[in-house]
Amino acid sequence: MGLAATADIFAALALELERAGQLCDQLEAVMAKLVEASGTTAPHDAMRDAQAVDALGQHLRGLARFSETLALQPGGPAGYDVGPALQTITLAALAARLAVETGQASGAHGPGHEEGELQLF
């Protein structure tokens, strides 16, 4: 086995993450059919589980878009401009975590939050 270009690695990763997201879609559809067919008395629990599968699919697709955007950059010893890749992610929490993990955000609380700042939910 030889060396692979970074762009090729990011592109392959994006493709596999997208495939995993598609599998989540299929799993969510199967779960919905099973819940409907079972006539369960706890549909809220089953729907919560189905929503978790949907969230996983969205998470995987966000990572796929992030990787795909990085694959389009030349990269190099200086690194990558992560900003455009972060902007492709539709899940705010995922984008915020990746911003922190890649040094693009201040503090460990996400972009725009300083240490000790009050955060209301």
106 pLDDT higher than 70: no
Evaluate whether residue 36 is within a structural domain: yes
Q: Using one digit for the tens of pLDDT, what is the confidence trace for 72-93?
A: 988 777 888 999 999 999 999 9
Claim: this prediction has a pTM higher than 0.85: no
Per-residue burial over 15-52, b if 16 or more Cβ lie within 10 Å, else e, is eebbebbeebeeebeebeeebeeeeeeeeeebeeebee
Structure-token pair, residue 18: 């997208």
Evaluate whether residue 116 is within a structural domain: no
Per-position DSSP letters for 33-93, written without gaps between them = HHHHHHT-S-HHHHHHHHHHHHHHHHHHHHHHHHHHHHHTS---TT---HHHHHHT---HH
| Nearest Cα to Cα of residue 17 among 55, 82, 65 | 65
Does residue 58 or residue 4 have the better pLDDT? 58
Domain extent, residue 12, equals 6-72+81-101
- Where residue 120 falls among pLDDT bands split at 50, 70, 90? very low
- Where residue 29 falls among pLDDT bands split at 50, 70, 90? confident
Residue 60 half-sphere exposure toward CB, CA atoms < 13 A: 18
Q: Using one digit for the tens of pLDDT, what is the confidence trace for 40-58?
A: 666 677 778 878 888 999 9
Evaluate whether residue 11 is within a structural domain: yes
Evaluate whether residue 68 is within a structural domain: yes
- Where residue 23 falls among pLDDT bands split at 50, 70, 90? very high
Evaluate whether residue 118 is within a structural domain: no
Number of domains in the chain: 1
Ranking 5-9, 16-20, 63-67 by mean pLDDT, the lowest is: 5-9
110 pLDDT higher than 50: no
Share of the chain above pLDDT 70, in %: 83
d(CA 79, CA 70): 10
Q: Is the dihedral of CA 88, 93, 99, 102 positive or negative?
A: negative
